Every structure is written in C-alpha cells, then in structure tokens.
Structure 1
Amino acid sequence: MSNRMNSVKVFRALITLAMFVIAIVLAYVLWSHYMYSPWTRDGRIRAYVTKVAPDVSGLVTDVKVADNELVHRGQTLMVVDTSRYQLALADAQSALNRARANYRQAVSQANSAKATVEAKRSSYEMYADRAERRRHLSSTAISREDLSDAISTASTAQAEYQQALQELQEQRDAVNVAQVAIQQAQVSVNQAQLNLDRTEVKAATDGYVTNVNVRVGDYADAGQQQMALIDSNSFYIYGYFEETKLPHLKIGDKADIRLMAGGTHVEGRVTGIARGIGDTENTNSENQLLDVNPTFDWVRLAQRVPVRIEIDPATVPKDTVLFSGMTATINLKPSDSDDGEPAVSVQQ
C-alpha cells in the first residue's frame, strides 16, 4: 500500500514537472515568436496622391467631379475661365502674322537690294573696263580731261557698288531679325495655346478625387491645390517592423496580410526596406555640435523600421475597398528562392 502511494506521488510530481517544462517551452516559443518572428500589427496601406492644382489662374467656371468620385486618366476635373486666354492667343496669333508680314517685306527688300547690287556691279565693271582701256591710249588719241572723267566715273560706279553691297547686307540682317521675330512670335503663340489648354485641369491617372474644396465662381491661383487624386493602381503597404525582426526578413519575402476592416486576407511581397529613420537624439547645437540628451532609459524600446510591401491585386476581393491609411496585420514568410536581399548585412 505504501509503495502504491509513493508511486502515485512520483507520478503526480512527474506530471507537474512535465507541465512546468511544457509551460516554460511554450512561453519561450511565444516570447521568441513575439520578439523575433517577422510580423507586425502596425501595417498601413498607402497610395500615391497627386495634388491637383490649375496651371493657370482665373475664375472657376465648371467643376466636373464630385468628392470621392472615380475618374480616369485624361478626364476633365475642373475648368478655369477661358476668355482671357482666348484673347491672349488671338493677340499672339496677330503678332505672329505681323512678324510673318515683316519677314516677307524684308525678303522682298533684300531681293531688290540684290538686284541693285547686280546692276551696280555690271555698271562698275563696264566703267572700270572703259577707264582701263583709255588709260592705255596715247595722249594723241584721248585728252587728259577725257581720261580723268573716265577714271572718275569708274570710281563713282565702284563707290555706288560698295554702297549697294552694304545695303544688301543690311537687308539680309533685317531678314534674319525678321526670322527671329517669327520664332519668338511662334513661341508666344505656343505659350498662349498651352495656357488655353491648361484651363482644363485633367486627371493625370486613374483614381479617386477627394477633398474637393473648389466651387464654381472661386478664384483659383496657379499652383494652388484644389483637390487630391489618389491613384487607384498604386496601393501598397508599409509595415513597421521592430529592428529585432529585421535579420529574419529580406526583399522578396511573401507577406500574409490581414486587414483590420473585416479581417480580409490579401497577399503581397516585400519590395523594399528603409535604410534610415529619424533620430531624435541626433540634433545639432548652435555650434554645429551634436546635442546628445544626457538621460538614458533603462527600458530601451526597439525602433520600428518601415518595410514596403507590394500588394498582389489578384488576391484582393472585388468587394474590398482599399483606402490610404487603413491598418493591417502582416506576417512574412520566406520566399521560395534565396536570392532576396537581406534586410541587415554586415560589410567588412
């Protein structure tokens, strides 16, 4: 009887010891999973946001979208009054027409100056040849006065020819100036046409317009944001992982994502790991020296590093609405290949 009671006591002690060991092992496994496994509850969905602003200033004459409406690339979102820009285009076109007319006139005058040069050159060559022939005649064949007149006439013809050449060069310069004026006027026309086209503010991509604060009759300044456009094809996730988990993740790892909104499950892949975060302890003093806080907390919390995750669109249910800012829980799994870039590497 005594041996039986002793056996029961030993069995109970073994059971208690086994349960204690199992509890310690489970606690260690859970603690290791919590501390080192690549998972986080701090996942945030992000998206590219375009700041929609007019490129020209003016009164808003039409707003063609409503808040949170789905739009497509090239769709008109709002219209700025076109009247002054149409007038500016007409004025620029008139200036271009004047420049072209001035160019045609300059070309005509240059052609006329060229014809005058040819005539003056022929006249000069004729008088110069006549003077040269008379210079070789004897004094009995030609008087000194006739020879002097011939030389003088040739000199006058040469001067007129040189003057005609100078005028031709001036006319050619005028043609070049007129041609440059046409180019400048064409640039003004193009600028005026661009301003007129930009009175229609169009969507740069497919997405959702939000925060539409503009109304018909408002005055919109160029470059002043009037609404935001969220690119519907750019949703991704930033998971903020503790630095203790970085050695266990790498680029290319698969991501199991659970959205807080309804617990929807989607999948993704790690595409990037941030290489730096802000350091509140590392600030500069007035002398450009580091200003280090002299206090140190005994409990040191692990820093959280942003990890970018690309969402697989095929895994997003059709009835799931994604919006920038929603939260998710992320669990990372090693990818099939080992070619991914490690999150933490030591270079010697």
Structure 2
Amino acid sequence: MKFLLTFLGRHALTLGSVAIATAVALHLWESHQRMPWTRDGHVRTDVVRVSTDIGGLITQVLVHDNQVVHPGQLLIVLDRPRRVAALERAEAAITEARAQLDLARKEERRDLALRDLVATEAHEQNIAKVRTAEAALKRALADRDVAQIDMQRTEIRATVGGTVTNLDLHPGDYLAVGVQAMALVDAETLRVEGYFEETKLRSVSIGDRARIHLMGDDADIVGHVESIAAAIADDQRDNTGNLLPKVAPTFSWVRLAQRIPVRLHIDRVPAGTKLIAGRTATVEILPSTPLSVVGRHL
C-alpha cells in the first residue's frame, strides 16, 4: 500500500495529464459525432449559358467580362439589317396573299351570280382557288410572325441578374445557332454544398444550423441545411446491352464511406466576404435548433 501511494505521488502529474488528455479526446470525439463537419465543401451557383437560336454576325457587344447585369439588360445585338429585310419580305408576301384571296373571292361571287351559266368544273376550280389563297395568307402571316420573333431575337438579353463571365466576343464575330456566347452567373442561386460522409448523415437534418468557413477568410458564414441529395452514382454497377446489371466482382477490406451532397442555404454573409462559385469551404453542422429561433438570432 505504501509503495502504491509512493508511486502515485511520484507520477501524479503524469497520470493527471493523461486523464485530462483522455477527457479532452473523448469530448472532441463526442463533439465530432454530435456536430458533423467536412472540409470538402464548395460555393456553388447556377450558370445560365447565354446563346442564340437564330445565328448571325455580332454588331454590338454591350457588356464586358465580369460585369454585373440585371434581368432584361441588353447584352449582344446580332445582324439586324438582314432580319429587317426578312420582315419586310414577309409583309410583302402578306399583301400579295391578300390580293390573291380578294381576286379568288371575286371570281367565286361572280360564279354564284351567274349560276347555271358557269360550268360546274369552273366553279369548283374557283372554290379551290379561294381555299388555296386562304391557306397562302395563313402561311404568309405565320412567316411574318416568325420574322418578328427573329427580329426580337437579334437582341440577346439577360434572363437573370448576375455576373457575366467567360466573355470573348467582339463586333464582327459570327455567333452560330446554339453556340454558347457567354456564361451568366446567377447571383440569386449562390449556395454552399458540403459533401458529408454517409456515416455522419444521421446527425444532419433539414433546417439544422451550419457554420461555413471559406478558405482564406477570417469570419464565418451562417447558413442552414436546405436539402440532402436523394442519390449519387454507383461506380460498382453498370448496365449491359440486354439491360442486365453488371456488378464489378471486387471487394475491399478497407471500405471508404461515400460522400453525400448536402445543400446549405446562406443566411448571413460577413462584410467583405466574396462569394465566388468554386471557393473551398469547411462546413460544420451545429446542434439542432428550430429555424425560427435561428432567424431571431440573425
């Protein structure tokens, strides 16, 4: 007994340090399990791919790279003279079609007035001319509508508010149909997506508060869990030609947890923080608190 007391007296400091370290480690482990976090997070946003469905020479570029624009703002003007000429040609076709229809209807009325004096075959031909002229007028009106739409499409406008990026266009360039002219970063859809290990998902719920730290910044962003991904790709399975599943016959002794995307809504951004899509973020899910309470604190 005396030996034990002597031993404890000599090593009390060491044993105390070990006990404190063990307690701290257990506390950190419990916090890690209770408040899941990941360093695999990124700022994300929706990107609008600005393009055209008519094609033509670019006559004006009214924005520059990295410029902030608002919805409806004019970005690019395409070849208007060609579309103006097409619209005038469509209007002329309508005038011609109406004249042909008026003439066919006059002949039809004349046949009705003469009655038996006009051969049945000639009368039927005049009726067919009226129907043909009516169809030609409808076609001309439709062509005019298309020409008006094409005329409007010569002005490419922003569909959302955001920032122009990847712009490399100049007057005189030809913009083909369906080719992306520029990218427009939608400012209203900025968010953070964190990729959490599947073993931590039981501690993540929609509405949970989140602390977001962007690499290189001092202050943290405040947000909350908006949604959790419903599915991810299975790289161990593929389909064959007969639609039967093809499963890779492999097994690893070390099984890595899959990472599941969790979307975070941004509630508060510190002054001076630059939310740029692609920035790296560390995300920590805080203990569950009703979202209404979070709103009062923000």
In the superposition, the TM-score normalised over structure 1's length comes to 0.75
Q: 2:265 aligned with 1:336, yes or no?
A: no
Q: 2:260 aligned with 1:324, yes or no?
A: no
- Alignment deviations for residues 289-337 of structure 1 (CA, whole Å, 9 cap, x no partner): 52414352x332221110011112xx22453321110121212231317
Q: 2:145 aligned with 1:177, yes or no?
A: no
Confirm or deny: 8 A CA contact 1:35 1:244 kept in the other structure: no
CA distance in 1 between partners of 2:4 and 2:136 (Å): 115
Pairing partner for 1:188 from 111, 118, 143: 143
- Alignment deviations for residues 81-121 of structure 1 (CA, whole Å, 9 cap, x no partner): 1222222111111111111111222222222222223xx4x
- Inter-CA distance 304–13: structure 2 relative to 1 (3 Å threshold): same
Confirm or deny: 8 A CA contact 2:237 2:245 kept in the other structure: no
CA distance in 1 between partners of 2:4 and 2:264 (Å): 60
Q: 2:106 aligned with 1:108, yes or no?
A: yes
Partner in structure 2 of residue 27 of structure 1: 25
User: Which residue identity is paired with 2:44?
Assistant: R
Partner in structure 2 of residue 225 of structure 1: 180
Partner in structure 2 of residue 299 of structure 1: 254
CA distance in 2 between partners of 1:43 and 1:289 (Å): 32
RMSD of the alignment, in Å? 2.7
> SS where residue 217 of structure 1 aligns?
coil
Partner in structure 2 of residue 70 of structure 1: 68
Superposed, 1:94-243 pairs within 5 Å as 94-117=92-115, 120=116, 160=117, 163=119, 168=123, 170-243=125-198
- Inter-CA distance 270–18: structure 2 relative to 1 (3 Å threshold): same
Confirm or deny: 8 A CA contact 1:285 1:291 kept in the other structure: no
Greater strand proportion: 2
Pairing partner for 2:232 from 269, 277, 281: 277
> SS where residue 97 of structure 1 aligns?
helix
CA distance in 2 between partners of 1:337 and 1:272 (Å): 14
Partner in structure 2 of residue 244 of structure 1: 199
- Inter-CA distance 168–254: structure 2 relative to 1 (3 Å threshold): farther
> SS where residue 233 of structure 1 aligns?
helix
Confirm or deny: 8 A CA contact 2:217 2:273 kept in the other structure: no
User: Which residue identity is paired with 1:336?
Assistant: P
CA distance in 1 between partners of 2:128 and 2:269 (Å): 69
- Alignment deviations for residues 184-219 of structure 1 (CA, whole Å, 9 cap, x no partner): 111101111111211121111111111112122111
User: Structure 1: 5+ residue runs without aligned partners?
Assistant: 121-159, 339-348
- Alignment deviations for residues 58-94 of structure 1 (CA, whole Å, 9 cap, x no partner): 2211111111011111111112112222221111111
CA distance in 2 between partners of 1:264 and 1:56 (Å): 47
User: Which residue identity is paired with 2:149?
Assistant: L
Deviates more, 1:193-202 or 1:108-117: 108-117
In the superposition, the TM-score normalised over structure 2's length comes to 0.86
User: Which residue identity is paired with 1:300?
Assistant: R
User: Which residue identity is paired with 1:282?
Assistant: R
CA shift at 1:9, angstroms? 4.6
Confirm or deny: 8 A CA contact 2:64 2:164 kept in the other structure: yes
CA distance in 2 between partners of 1:7 and 1:304 (Å): 52
CA distance in 2 between partners of 1:94 and 1:42 (Å): 63
Confirm or deny: 8 A CA contact 1:36 1:244 kept in the other structure: no
Confirm or deny: 8 A CA contact 2:42 2:193 kept in the other structure: yes
| Percentage of identical aligned residues | 37
Confirm or deny: 8 A CA contact 1:60 1:80 kept in the other structure: yes
CA distance in 2 between partners of 1:263 and 1:51 (Å): 33
> SS where residue 264 of structure 1 aligns?
coil
CA shift at 1:13, angstroms? 5.1
Point out the structure with max Rg over C-alpha: 1
CA distance in 2 between partners of 1:317 and 1:175 (Å): 72
> SS where residue 28 of structure 2 aligns?
helix
Confirm or deny: 8 A CA contact 2:206 2:228 kept in the other structure: yes
User: Structure 2: 5+ residue runs without aligned partners?
Assistant: 293-298
CA distance in 1 between partners of 2:93 and 2:19 (Å): 94
CA shift at 1:55, angstroms? 2.0
Partner in structure 1 of residue 295 of structure 2: none
- Alignment deviations for residues 135-172 of structure 1 (CA, whole Å, 9 cap, x no partner): xxxxxxxxxxxxxxxxxxxxxxxxx58x46x6555444
